A and B are shown apart, each in its own frame.
Chain A
């Protein structure tokens, strides 16, 4: 067992302080300690992207991240995206969700892309989502959804 540390971070825009084992996986910290169950565990090995979160704005897999590595960082989870993020409606309209396990990671990956490139090409979307696996064979609709969300005029994403 590690000695616990006092972890301070900004989580979904709010300052958070918690006492935690620094070697605890961030995915477990989120889901089990903080009750944020939107991030899913698929493979637990950084292959599937279901646990994707935004660390200082960059998409990372929370299953490969240690709690101690969050010290002073800004973390955003699927719960931290605004409810009117155009990605949500676009995913619903396009039928981009089937079982739903991959969806939070897909949306986080798409948000990370659109924050950097508001009008990405289909190829760029494919690259940005290449680390997110869907096992219900929904890739075409997922790509359609991200393209549709990118077309929504907004000055406010993120």
Chain B
């Protein structure tokens, strides 16, 4: 970064923000609610980077529903999602996870786009986005693209977003008929804990059989991720006839949870098994 370069931007227009990202790329850190970034900077000795505050850009905020989907502006805060009747009715797991993202004061600032771009494996909303089959709208000065969220995180704190791109919206398709959803976050305490394990499950049923399953997990690996082997094992089956060992084996194929400051790998594995049983109505 050149000496004397501008350190603070607060544009009112998205086009202006994209122009700033086009010229300065990774030298400029976008900031919205700041609930993750401010904590990281406090714990770091590195100087604060140049900042691009997205808080004054009206078109990045808001919820738009149509018969097929809901499109959520990237800087829509968690408290808005938790309280929104359309989200509560159509995508209830997102209302739940937004209401479990930190405390009320955090939810009033923390944004859905920020939760995705911060790319923490323990983030509260990504499992839900994965389970609902979310797509991200990324924008740059050279155009827009829409990507499946399931392929967005490529490694610990790594994403496919380019340095000149901003996430501008998160799109959730409306769940199919005969779909049930189940969300549970397990932390040390009920209020504002970081998850040890979280599961969001979206199950489409035909009679007693699951015909389509998506299990989005947090805190079981370096990225929030879908459990592909588990979904494959469950699809086509009546969960009541599934062997408990087979579920555990599928989870072991998908994840190798680690020991860290918040929990142990063995505990996480057992909780993941229990959560899956809960989601399938077996607990």
Query: Chain A: residues with CB nearer than 8 A to chain B?
Result: 1-3, 5, 22-23, 25, 44-47, 49, 52, 55, 58-61, 63-66, 68-69, 71, 109, 112, 127-128, 130-132
Contact A131 B34 (CB under 8 A): no
Chain B residues touching A, majority SS: loop
Taking each of A65, A68, A71, A109, which has the highest tally of chain B beta carbons within 10 Å of its own beta carbon?
A68
B109: A residues at CB distance < 8 A: 60-61, 64-65
The answer to whether B104 and A59 touch across the interface, beta carbons within 8 angstroms, is yes
Cα A59 to Cα B107 in complex, Å, equals 9
CA distance A107 to B191 in the complex (A): 19
Q: When the two chains form their complex, are residues B35 and A64 in contact, meaning their CB atoms are under 8 A apart?
A: yes
Taking a contact as CB atoms under 8 Å apart, the answer to whether A49 and B8 are in contact is: no
Residue of B nearest to A62 (CB): B105
Q: Tell me the minimal C-beta distance from B134 to chain A in angstroms.
A: 26
Among B38, B53, B103, B104, point to the contact of A68 (Cβ < 8 A): B53
Give complex CA distance A68, B42 in Å.
17
A-facing residues in B25-78 (Cβ within 8 Å): 31, 33-35, 38-39, 42-43, 48, 51, 53, 55-56
In the complex the two chains form, is B39's CB within 8 Å of A46's CB?
A: yes
Q: Which residues of A contact B48 (CB under 8 A)?
A: 23
Chain B residues near A45 (CB-CB < 8 A)? 39, 42-43
The interface residues of chain B lying within 8 Å CB-to-CB of A60 are 105, 108-109
- Whether the pair A61, B106 counts as a contact (CB closer than 8 A) is yes
A122 to chain B, nearest CB (A): 15
Seed contacts A2-B7, A64-B39; 14 additional CB < 8 Å A-B pairs: A23-B8, A44-B42, A46-B106, A59-B104, A59-B108, A61-B109, A64-B33, A64-B106, A65-B109, A71-B10, A109-B104, A130-B190, A131-B105, A131-B106
* Size class of the B contact interface (CB-based, 8 Å): 20 to 34
* Residue among B43, B48, B53 with max Cβ neighbours from chain A (10 Å): B53
In the assembled complex, the Cα of A134 lies from the Cα of B280 at a distance in Å of 39
Question: Closest residue to B192 on the A side, CB-wise?
Answer: A131
Give min CB distance, A99 to chain B, whole Å: 21
| B102 part of interface (Cβ distance < 8 Å) | yes
Does the CB pair A3–B39 fall under 8 Å?
no
User: Is B219 an interface residue, CB under 8 A from the partner?
Assistant: no
Say yes or no: B38 contacts A46, CB within 8 Å. Answer: yes
Q: Considering the chains assembled together, what is the distance between the CA atoms of A114 and B105 in angstroms? A: 15
Q: Which residues on B sit within 8 Å (CB–CB) of A63?
A: 38
Q: Which residues of B contact A64 (CB under 8 A)?
A: 33-35, 38-39, 106, 109
Judged by a CB distance under 8 angstroms, whether B79 is at the interface is yes
Contact of A5 among B8, B79, B108, B191 (CB under 8 A): B8
Q: Which 8 A-B pairs have the closest CB atoms?
A: A131-B103, A130-B191, A2-B7, A58-B108, A22-B8, A64-B38, A45-B39, A61-B105
Partner of B105, one of A3, A69, A109, A127: A109
Known: A60-B109, A61-B105, A131-B102. A23 touches B7 (CB 8 A): yes
Taking CB as reference atom, which chain B residue is nearest A57? B108
Bound CA–CA A109/B192 (angstroms): 15
A153 to chain B, nearest CB (A): 26
Within 8 Å by CB of A59, from B35, B53, B105, lies B105
Contact of A130 among B10, B51, B192 (CB under 8 A): B192
Whether the pair A130, B7 counts as a contact (CB closer than 8 A) is no
